[in-house]
Chains A and B, each alone.
Chain A
Amino acid sequence: MRDDILEQAAGWRAEGRKVALATVVATWGSSPRPVGSQMAVDDAGSMIGSVSGGCIEGAVVHEARKTMEDGEPRMISFGVSNEMAWEVGLACGGRVQVYVEAVE
Chain B
Amino acid sequence: MKRDITERLLAARKAGRPVALVTDLGTGLQTLVYEDAIHGGFGLEDDRLAEVRDRLRQDRSGLITDPEGEEDGVQLFVQTHNPPLRLLVVGAVHIAQALAPLAALTGYAVTVIDPRGSFATESRFPGVSLHDSWPDEALTELKIDNRTAVVTLTHDPKLDDPALLVALRSPAFYVGSLGSRRTHAKRLERLTEQGVTDAELARIHAPVGLDIGAVTPAEIALSVMAQITAVRRKAGAA
- A residues near B (Cβ < 8 Å) are 1-3, 6-7, 9-10, 13, 21, 23, 25-26, 34-36, 72-73, 75, 99, 101-104
B10 touches A26 (CB 8 A): no
- Cβ contacts under 8 Å, B61 to chain A: 34-36
- Determine if B9 is an interface residue (Cβ-Cβ < 8 Å): yes
Query: Are A21 and B1 CB-contacts (below 8 A) given A35-B62, A99-B25?
Result: yes
Q: A99-B77, A101-B28 are in contact. Are A26 and B107 (CB under 8 A)?
A: no
**Interface 1/0 per residue, B14-28 and A, CB below 8 Å:** 000000000101001
User: Taking CB as reference atom, which chain B residue is nearest A37?
Assistant: B61
What is the interface of chain B, defined by CB distance below 8 A to chain A? 1-3, 6-7, 9-10, 13, 23, 25, 28, 61-63, 77, 79-80, 84, 104-105, 107
Which residues of A lie under 8 Å from residue B13 when comparing CB positions?
A: 6
Could you tell me if A36 and B79 are in contact, using CB atoms closer than 8 angstroms?
Answer: yes
Residue among B6, B63, B77 making CB contact with A10, cutoff 8 Å: B6
Q: Cβ of B23 and Cβ of A103 under 8 Å apart?
A: no
CA separation between A72 and B7, bound complex, in Å?
Answer: 20
Nearest CB on A from B68, distance (A) = 18
User: Are B10's CB and A10's CB within 8 A?
Assistant: yes
Q: How far is the CB of A92 from chain B (nearest CB, A)?
A: 18
Cα A21 to Cα B99 in complex, Å, equals 32
Contact B63 A36, beta carbon cutoff 8 Å: no
Nearest 9 pairs of A and B residues by beta carbon: A36-B61, A73-B28, A25-B77, A35-B61, A103-B1, A35-B62, A1-B105, A104-B3, A104-B2
